[in-house]
Amino acid sequence: MAAVPTFLFFKNGKVIKRIEGAKAADVTKAVKNLASQKSTGPARPPPSSTVAETPVHEETPDELNARLKKIINLSPVMLFMKGDPAAPKCGFSRQTVEMFSNLNAKYGTFDILTDDAVRQGLKTYSNWPTYPQLYIKGELVGGLDILKELNEDGELKTMLTDAMPAPPDFNALINKAPLMIFMKGNPAEPKCGFSRTLIQILSETGLSYDTFDILSDDDVRQGLKKFSNWPTFPQVYVKGDLVGGLDIIKELKDSGDLISTLKGE
């Protein structure tokens, strides 16, 4: 019969030492001796938390070309460069950004350093070996040398300006309806609490009105702030004149003047 207590020491699933009726000092000594020995057994399997790498899908040439075409058409004026306008990563890209800044140009950019497939694939797609590359309405214009020539001839500014959509006609927008609301979302689905509250108030008046979703057009969203000298949304216009935002509407409601104001009386 074995003595009590009995200590069993295992290594690689096998008993390698047994101490019966042991004292604490004997057990401590055995632990130290075993811990100092190097393992000669078979390698242990990796922890269960190890995750096998998922194979990355490699784009076919057709898939890459389709993606390149989509990126090129993200903006009417699209510049493929190293870095971005705030931090160009090469001298040629920096010179291009400075040129565009002097022309007050609007354009989209793609940092080729973030995607090697685009960086290499676009050279073949455009048959143009260097960067930056400028595209206008999906067509390659060229690199820095060509842009410099066009700029010296005065053609570049016209090309950049003509490519971009005309600025919004704010007078036409605010006069689209006698009561015009510029909001985030639409009456059925307001996209902010202020717009939601305004629609609730307007629904109580029974008045008809039209709306414009400023989230659908950033040029309108930013430009209307300057046009109206009113920095927030929603904005309410009656017969082309700005009434104000939600706070003004609440004040008019509390004073009993809301309906007459919205009717333009």
Last residue of a domain, one of 163, 180, 203: 163
Q: Is the pLDDT of residue 15 over 70?
A: no
Residue 241 and residue 201: Cα distance in Å, rounded? 20
Residue 47 has pLDDT above 60, yes or no: no
Tell me the pLDDT tens digit for each residue of 107-140: 999 999 999 999 999 999 999 999 999 999 999 9
Mean pLDDT confidence for 170-179: 96
Q: What is the pLDDT of residue 58?
A: 82
Please indicate, yes or no, whether residues 237 and 180 belong to a single structural domain of this protein: yes
Pair 182, 237 in one domain: yes
Residue 8, pLDDT score: 62
Task: State the Cα–Cα distance between residues 211 and 186, nearest whole angstrom.
Answer: 7
Question: Which CATH number covers residue 76?
Answer: 3.40.30.10
Name the most confidently modeled range: 6-20, 22-36, 120-134. 120-134
For the chain, what is the mean pLDDT?
86
Q: What is the pTM of this model?
A: 0.53
Q: How far apart are CA 61 and CA 58, in angstroms?
A: 9
DSSP annotation string for 132-163: -EEEETTEEEE-HHHHHHHHHTTHHHHHHHHH
How many domains does the chain divide into?
3
Q: Are residues 250 and 209 in the same domain?
A: yes
- Residue 142: pLDDT over 50: yes
The reply to whether 152 and 77 lie within a common domain is yes
Beta-ladder partners of 87: 84
Q: Does some domain include residue 250?
A: yes
Q: Do 254 and 181 reside in the same domain of the chain? A: yes
Question: What pLDDT is attached to residue 155?
Answer: 95
Same domain for 78 and 132, yes or no, is yes
End-to-end CA distance of the chain: 108
What are phi and psi for residue 124, nearest 5 degrees?
-75, -45
Q: Which of 53-57, 72-76, 209-213 has the lowest average pLDDT? A: 53-57
pLDDT band at 3 (very low <50, low <70, confident <90, very high): very low
Strand pairing class (77-81; 108-111): parallel
- What is the model's pLDDT at position 167? 81
Give the whole-angstrom CA distance, residue 238 versus residue 240. Answer: 5
Which of 46-55, 77-86, 110-119, 135-144 has the weakest average pLDDT? 46-55
Given a cut of 80, is residue 51 above it in pLDDT?
no
Give pLDDT tens digits for 178-193. 999 999 999 999 999 9
Looking at the domain assignment, is residue 10 inside a domain?
Answer: yes
Write down the pLDDT at residue 19. 62
**157 and 177 in a common domain:** no
Residue 47 covered by a domain: no
Residues 12 and 97 in one domain: no
Provide the domain limits for residue 15.
6-32
Domain finish residue from 147, 163, 179:
163
Q: Which residue has the higher pLDDT, 224 or 22?
A: 224
Grade residue 2 by pLDDT with cuts at 50, 70 and 90: very low
Is 44 a member of any domain? no
Q: What is the pLDDT of residue 166?
A: 80
